[in-house]
Structure 1
Amino acid sequence: MPVFGYARVSSTDQDLSIQEAVLRTAGCEMIRAEKKSGTTTTGRTELQNLMDFARKGDTIVVTRIDRLARSIADLATIVRELEAKEVALRATEQPIDTSTAAGRCFLQMLGVFAEFETNLRKERQLEGIAKAKAAGVYAGKGRPPSISPEKVRELHKQGLGPSAIAKELGISRMTVHRALNPKAA
């Protein structure tokens, strides 16, 4: 029966090669990979293509279950869909194999912990934001401007257009437009 691999990292600057090498060693005939967040299955076309392609008796392999999903709801949906198609799910770094009762049990426990970890991360982020706000150092909209909007408006009053201002200050034209039209930003 065919064995297919799925590799995922969250951001474009992360590397998939380690996961892909492990999946090849695990006997995967085809590996689908993508750089997308695991907090949702929305927009993860490689995962969906693989799930659509898999047939009865096939096996899908991941290195760790968090490569597949970070929420219990998403994990349960994926597992239900695979079970309905009689496709097994295995993880190389965890004792997960949905063709066994123990593997299914362990999968559910790991799913709970993956969601728990995501929720803890969100709580820590919110605590950090609250602390920064209390200290008066949190603006709420990204990093502070690198160029003073007043400087942009001053050059504009001198007759320079957005392209010339951007070139003069070494910023993008969009930054110039945001400085000239703060309500539109």
Structure 2
Amino acid sequence: MSETISYLRVSTDDQSTDTQRATIESRYNIDKWFVDEATSGTIKAKDREGLSTLMNYARSGDTVIVYAIDRLGRNTVDVLETVETLEAGGVAVVSIREGFDLSTPMGKAMLTMLAAMAELERSNIKSRQMSGIERAKAEGRNLGREKLIDDDLVVRWRQDQSASIKDTAEFFGISTASVKRACRASKASQ
């Protein structure tokens, strides 16, 4: 017996799948839900627990409903491979936001175009971001968060106390990575 199953994904802890679920439930009776929370779309489908489980669960005749095609992934190749794997197993894929059934020839053509456009847009955003960073550097502006620890103080305290990296981190309320960076910076400036 075929099932209607759904896949939900959000990228960060502060996001919720509630909107995706409500939209899908308003149009379909879902037999089984698969979810990945705080999971970037840049992570390959096979490496996402929820989507990987869905791929193993889905059977010929099933239909997978997604809120939007970018829930399957952000990389064109990965999205297409995921859809093709499902379709090769006789599973239809429907994307609500884009409004198409990816098992039809028109749906496949639309998927390819939309995925390519999304990838192009991400590339353009990255390019604009890099241009902004280069401009800020050229203007002499500091980038990133303001440094909150004094590397020399951390290194001196650690040496004076003969403390471990972990103990130093706990004393200053910083990460062990910050202590290691302070030690490297101190060695580099000598």
Shorter-chain TM-score: which interval?
Answer: 0.7 to 0.9
**Alignment CA distance shift 1:56-1:157 (3 Å):** closer
Equivalent position amino acid for 2:8 in 1? A
Name the Cα RMSD after superposition: 2.5
Further displaced range: 171-180 or 54-63: 171-180
Give per-residue Cα distances to partners, 1:127-166, cap 9 Å, x unaligned.
1221222123356xx5343111112133335437356654
Match of 1:70 among 51, 74, 84: 74
Post-superposition offset of 1:173 = 4.7
SS in 2 for 1:105: helix
Give per-residue Cα distances to partners, 1:18-50, cap 9 Å, x unaligned.
112223332221111112111241521211211
Equivalent position amino acid for 2:158 in 1? H
Query: Residue 56 of structure 1 aligns with which residue?
Result: 60
The answer (yes or no) to whether the contact 1:23–1:31 under 8 Å persists in 2 is no
The answer (yes or no) to whether the contact 2:75–2:115 under 8 Å persists in 1 is yes
TM-score (norm 2): 0.81
Query: Residue 8 of structure 1 aligns with which residue?
Result: 9
Match of 1:36 among 6, 31, 39: 39
Further displaced range: 114-123 or 50-59: 114-123
Post-superposition offset of 1:56 = 0.8
**Alignment CA distance shift 1:166-1:107 (3 Å):** closer
Q: Distance in 2 between matches of 1:54 and 1:76?
A: 17
Post-superposition offset of 1:76 = 1.6
SS in 1 for 2:141: coil
TM-score (norm 1): 0.83
Q: Which runs of 5+ in 2 are unaligned?
A: none
The answer (yes or no) to whether the contact 1:156–1:165 under 8 Å persists in 2 is yes
Query: Residue 110 of structure 1 aligns with which residue?
Result: 114
* Runs of 4+, deviation exceeding 6 Å: none
In the alignment, does 2:92 pair up with 1:83? no
Match of 2:182 among 154, 159, 179: 179
The number of residue pairs the alignment matches comes to 182
